[in-house]
Amino acid sequence: MPGSSTSPGVAPLSAFATLRQLARGTPLTVPPSSSVRETLRMLDRAHADAIVVVDQASRVPLGIVTLHDVLRRIALESGDLEAPIAVIMTGGLITLPADATAHQASVIMVRRGVRHLVLTEADGRYFNVVAQADLYAQPGVRSTELVAAILASGDVDTLATLATGVREFASQLLSERVGAEVICQRISALNDLLTLQVIELTAGGFELPYVPWCWLVFGSEGRLEQTLATDQDNGLIFAAGSDDEAAGLRQAFLPFARAVNQALDACGFPLCKGNIMAGNAQWCLSLDEWKAAFGEWMASGQPQALLNSTVFFDFRALYGQDALAGDLREWLLATAPTHPIFLRALVESTLNWPSPLNWWQGFRYDGDKNFPHTIDLKMHGSRPFVDTARIYALASGVPDTNSVERLRAAATAMSMPAHETAALVDAFYHIQRLRLEHQGSALAGAPPNRIDPDQLHALDRHILKESLKQVRSLQQRLARDYAVS
């Protein structure tokens, strides 16, 4: 389908591939007592550029040695080849769990200016190493320039200019017929990096509480499905020992959070009309308060709770202590299946989706007076996929936030044939691509997601109809699974 093509200059790797999948074949390790000479011989025999120093008893990684380290510390600094490798290794390792995603690794590598990350198992034992080259086979000149410029920026005005550059880069990818999956991932990765820089620059002007905290992103940003038209949906989570402590910490964090929201607005990410932002005291909460909020939504099943589920339940950690978001997600995935009434309410809401196809498979319009003869590709196109994927993720304990990854995980649990899953994914990305193309060419003030099917190319119009039929297929399966007539 048109939405699945790739282009030279853009890495085809999925942002959601786990690092365990990408890691090199045989992990190279040496004990700290090994000599520099012995380590160099191992690197040469394996044609490798990095080796990890591990404790022989515990298998815990202690440091990493790269060829660059050897060149600088031995050749240029006249180091001793017979010295223990521990003398020249780089300690203070930056590690990630082996089951973290390529997106997480790429952001950390760029942010910390490193080319290798050490991967560990859940118990801290060494697993393997992943290099930047493993993540991006062809990073693309324009993308690399943007990354370097974002990291070098020292003020919000510069970042605002670069944010325009990100959108121009996305438009360039569209013109090159790059697939929607890759474009959404590249937009999200660059926007993540830009937001990280905004947060860091802003934090320098505040004396923040010395407690663990984390900036959360929701909605399309949380799912890494951002298009060219996106506003802010974010929050803040922090550690607190009591309600009184949480109240005091909230007041300390709010001025900083509001400043970040204003800076992001200046960078072209409009303030959320529903005020779902970290600068709103309602969404600047302790871990326990976030759990209470989610628990109340799931227990009530009221319309507002269903509305909140479309934004908040896709949360993702962006900056700070990821463990706080990890604790919240672990609790949520364990708790959601115990609220069948809430899940059923989500199902019924999703099944009430009004299809933009009529009974003879022609397009049906929703009667918008300002934009007649148009279809909202977000509300009536991509959203049913997103909502259904979220339901299956909550019901099945799937930790992914991206809709396609959720669908793939759910397909495995439901024994859905591979060709059916592929059809759903292609349909979703075709709709996403049409949204991106429309946003890239729409006049100022035009609705970003409304298209007139008659203005589409005949092939795109035909594939859009077929994509919308896939929504019906997905909903029929959902109705069967939840016995909803």
Indicate if the pLDDT at residue 136 is higher than 60. Answer: no
pLDDT band, very low/low/confident/very high, at 74 (cuts 50, 70, 90): low
Amino acid at 152: A
Indicate if the pLDDT at residue 387 is higher than 70. Answer: yes
Which token pair is 177?
A: 């017929």
**What are the pLDDT digits (tens) for 339-380?**
999 999 999 988 887 788 887 778 888 777 888 888 999 988
Q: Which stretches within 310-382 are classed as H helix?
A: 322-335, 340-351
Which token pair is 72?
A: 């600088």
**What are the pLDDT digits (tens) for 179-201?**
888 888 888 888 988 999 999 99
**What are the pLDDT digits (tens) for 427-442?**
999 999 999 888 887 6
For 241-310, the DSSP string reads: SSHHHHHHHHHHHHHHHHHHHHHHHHTT-PPPTT--STTSGGGEEEHHHHHHHHHHHHHH--HHHHHHHT
Backbone torsions φ then ψ of 213, nearest 5 degrees:
-150, 160
The answer to whether residues 27 and 59 touch, using CB atoms and an 8 Å cutoff, is no
Classify domain 141-321 at the CATH class level: alpha beta
The answer to whether residues 434 and 451 touch, using CB atoms and an 8 Å cutoff, is yes
Half-sphere exposure of 260 (CA within 13 A, CB side): 31
Q: What single DSSP character describes residue 379?
A: I
Classify domain 2-135 at the CATH class level: alpha beta
- Is domain 341-481 annotated with CATH 1.10.3470? no
Which token pair is 101?
A: 């995603």
Q: What is the pLDDT of residue 73?
A: 67
| Of 104, 98, 119, nearest in space to 15 by CA | 104
Q: What is the pLDDT of residue 142?
A: 65
pLDDT band, very low/low/confident/very high, at 7 (cuts 50, 70, 90): very low
* High-pLDDT (> 70) share of the chain, %: 91
> How far, in Å, CA of 150 to CA of 148, rounded?
6
Which token pair is 404?
A: 């396609």
Q: How much is the average pLDDT of 279-298?
A: 96
Q: What single DSSP character describes residue 71?
A: I
Burial class (CB in 10 A: 0-12, 13-18, 19+), 47: exposed
Backbone torsions φ then ψ of 89, nearest 5 degrees:
-65, 155
Domain extents for the chain? 2-135, 141-321, 341-481
pLDDT band, very low/low/confident/very high, at 474 (cuts 50, 70, 90): confident
- Which one is predicted more confidently, 133 or 46? 46
Q: How far is CA 469 from the centre of its chain?
A: 28
pTM over 0.75: yes
Amino acid at 76: L
Q: What is the pLDDT of residue 79?
A: 62
Distances (CA, A) of 158 to 143, 258, 343: 17, 20, 45
